[in-house]
Amino acid sequence: MDINKATALVTGAGRGIGRHLAAQLAERGAKVYATARRPESIDLDGVEVLAFDVTDPDSVAAAAEQARDVDLLVNNAGIGGGTLLGDLDGVRATMDVNFWGTLSVIRAFAPVLAGNGGGAILTIASSASWFVFPGTGAYAVSKAAVWSMGNALRQELADQGTRLTSVHLGATDMTKGLDVPNMTAAEVARAALDGVESEVYEVVADEFTAMVKSSLSQDPRHFAARFHEFLTA
């Protein structure tokens, strides 16, 4: 994927990592559709702004129809989430945005990507794909689903030549105030786009996330004990 020749669409581009992704794509020479539920929140130069709600089927269909030249789809839109035994409507809302919304967007744009030579998909996941930070069970479940979805879609989209890169990071609001090496949103965006150009399956963006992923081959009790010590230190 040569980004300076790409046409990209970024969801959730109004702030944070999404805003930096849209800005850096434009800086690298891509044509960029920057989207958000509130398009007035996007204040970037050199991009085409679209209103886009990933949970609204009509909005998703309209975006796929309008942006027929996209060959790089960037799924960044997402929300946090509380405990699984708390507000069930909140759990559903987290899954609706992070999992169902992301899948809906990919399903709508898969034919667009195929028509433009296959292209690539970049999806922002999380270190929470592999562990649960206390009080954020719904978010972790949704991001674990996003990770597994990426692995499945990588197979399903292979025949049309579409590549998929997922980005896992720990530099989020959950880790603020903790003694972990957080990356800035700009650094995460840069690592993510470098991963697309290199056609890697996964971008593990920081040391904390690498530690979490490495724990998957161990007895989960060891990681739970280590994480408890980390939280209470």
Q: Catalytic residue positions?
A: 139
d(CA 37, CA 97) in angstroms, rounded, equals 12
Q: What does the longest C-alpha to C-alpha distance in the chain come to?
A: 53
Strand partners, 204: 168
DSSP state of 128: G
Element (H, E) at 123: strand 120-124
Question: Considering only CA atoms, which of 126, 5, 136, 141 is closest in space to residue 75?
Answer: 126
DSSP letter string, 145-166 = HHHHHHHHHHHHTGGGT-EEEE
Q: What are the strands of the beta sheet with 202-204, ordered from one edge?
A: 48-51, 31-36, 7-10, 72-75, 120-124, 163-168, 202-204
CB-side neighbour CA atoms (13 Å) of 74: 31
